[in-house]
Amino acid sequence: METLRTGLDAIVSHRLRSGLTMLGILIGIAAVILTVGLGLGSQQQVGAQISSLGSNLLIVSPGSSTSGGVRGGFGSASTLTAADAAALASPVAAPDIGAVAPVKSSSLSVTAGSSNWTTAVVGTSADWATVRSRTLAAGRFLSAADVADQAAVAVLGSETATELFGTTDVVGRTVTVNGVDLEVVGVLAPAGSDSSSNLDDQVLAPLPTVANRIVGGTNKESVSTIYLQAASAGQLSAAYQEAQALLLSLHHVTDSGAADWTIASQQSLLSTVTSVSRTLTVLLTGIAALSLLVGGIGVMNIMLVSVSERTREIGLRKALGAPPSAIRRQFLVEATILGLAGGLLGAALGIGGARVLPRLLSTDIVVSPLAVGGSIAIAVLIGVVFGVYPATRAARLAPIDALRSE
């Protein structure tokens, strides 16, 4: 306690110098906390955006088509059918697949009274909302009975409803697509946009209604995409394997390399984005950590100056019987206090910045307790490590040389 009191007195007696020394550590700690927080916040934001596309999602897309010697891109073929979706929904053939939502999409003109709007008309099943993690702002979603009866009902995206009616309060009203009147039974809650489409601008109707009554044609049994939801996150890989094996059997394909479809996983995209975000976080944290090194050098510099200024004090203490360990301990305590104080103030500044900056940057900053605790521990360690040399130098001073110094 005496050593601690002496160390505090030495720091307080040189307030400005001690404050400037702690400032270097303070800035470094705050920078590390904010950098890690920005990295974690961006990871959460990206994860939430990807998860909004669907929970535990697998996307089955058809392969490419060839017409007149011209090969179309992936998704241009009509090789996936409603029968494929029905087979994938079987709990016997694919027990790890929790829900299936086939999609048949066409860009068509939709009218409501004197208003018209061209948008994506999507034929799907009752599981679409669950698979795509969508909620309703009003009304209800398509039911299994709607699909079985080829009911003339529709669910509108919020922007589609606004463009056609000027409001989202449209449940019970009617829209017309290709001469077919559809009763609006629900309106989707806003979800924004993904990388390829506006999720709030679409008309959803039962798949048989769209295939048989609205689109028709020779390929009316084909679907443009099949969305699969694994029963749980841990069963995503098993669901992928089951879907691949079942489609190989249904399409009579023996070599998976010749498959006329592709299965994409949102998990792989999330893993890639997370990996990139972590790499950037590590890089930025490394840069921020350089300021901690500078702060440590500042601690060493101040402690060396302190040893030089207090040479006579050190000589007097040693002449009165203080062992080298007591001298070393005194200066180490001073360096540790500087590091701890800088760490605590830096942590407070980092936490405060994490609450203020999101309002200015429109991004999330997640305060990690591990980062805060680790930063404070590193600050203390910096004080100890960079205080060792000055403390050792003070402990080695000969009493007679110290007493006669001016």
Please state the domain extents for the chain. Answer: 2-49+272-403, 78-259
User: What pLDDT score was predicted for residue 163?
Assistant: 93
Q: State pLDDT tens for residues 23-40.
A: 878 888 888 888 888 878
Answer whether 35's CB lies under 8 Å from 281's CB: yes
Q: State pLDDT tens for residues 273-293.
A: 667 777 777 777 777 777 777
**pLDDT band for position 48 (50/70/90)?**
low
**Amino acid present at 354:** A
CA distance 336 to 338: 5
Q: Does the pLDDT at position 68 exceed 60? A: no
Give me the phi and psi of 25, to 5 degrees please.
Answer: -70, -40
Q: Does the pLDDT at position 243 exceed 70? A: yes
Q: State pLDDT tens for residues 192-240.
A: 766 567 889 999 999 999 999 998 777 788 898 999 998 887 788 899 8
Residues 6+ apart with CB under 8 A from 89: 97, 99, 100
Work out the percent of the chain whose per-residue pLDDT is above 70.
Answer: 89
Rg of the chain, C-alpha, whole Å: 34
Strand partners, 205: 123
Q: State pLDDT tens for residues 12-22.
A: 877 887 888 78
Q: Does the pLDDT at position 43 exceed 80? A: no
**pLDDT band for position 128 (50/70/90)?**
very high
Q: Does the pLDDT at position 69 exceed 60? A: no
User: What pLDDT score was predicted for residue 297?
Assistant: 81
β-strands 202-206, 115-124 pairing? parallel
User: What pLDDT score was predicted for residue 270?
Assistant: 60
Q: Does the pLDDT at position 66 exceed 50? A: no
Q: Does the pLDDT at position 153 exceed 90? A: yes
DSSP, res 194 = -
User: What pLDDT score was predicted for residue 372?
Assistant: 87
Mean pLDDT score across all residues of the chain: 83
Answer whether 356's CB lies under 8 Å from 37's CB: no
User: What pLDDT score was predicted for residue 160?
Assistant: 94
Q: What is the mean pLDDT of residues 310-325?
A: 80
Q: Does the pLDDT at position 55 exceed 70? A: no
Q: What is the mean pLDDT of residues 255-270?
A: 76
Q: State pLDDT tens for residues 79-98.
A: 889 999 999 999 898 999 99
User: What pLDDT score was predicted for residue 75?
Assistant: 45
Q: Does the pLDDT at position 244 exceed 80? A: yes
CA distance 118 to 108: 5
Q: Does the pLDDT at position 117 exceed 90? A: yes
Work out the percent of the chain whose per-residue pLDDT is above 90.
Answer: 32
**62-76, 165-179, 263-277, 330-344: which has the highest mean pLDDT?**
165-179
The more confidently predicted of residues 140 and 4 is: 140
User: What pLDDT score was predicted for residue 95?
Assistant: 92
User: What pLDDT score was predicted for residue 140?
Assistant: 95
**pLDDT band for position 136 (50/70/90)?**
very high
Question: Per the structure block, which two tokens stand in for 308?
Answer: 């030089």
User: What pLDDT score was predicted for residue 52?
Assistant: 57
**pLDDT band for position 180 (50/70/90)?**
very high
**Amino acid present at 363:** T
Q: What is the mean pLDDT of residues 379-394?
A: 82
Q: Does the pLDDT at position 44 exceed 90? A: no
User: What pLDDT score was predicted for residue 306?
Assistant: 77
The more confidently predicted of residues 403 and 4 is: 4
pTM above 0.85, yes or no: no
> What is the residue-wise DSSP string for 233-283?
GGGHHHHHHHHHHHHHHHTT-S-GGG-SEEEEEHHHHHHHHHHHHHHHHHH
User: What pLDDT score was predicted for residue 196?
Assistant: 61
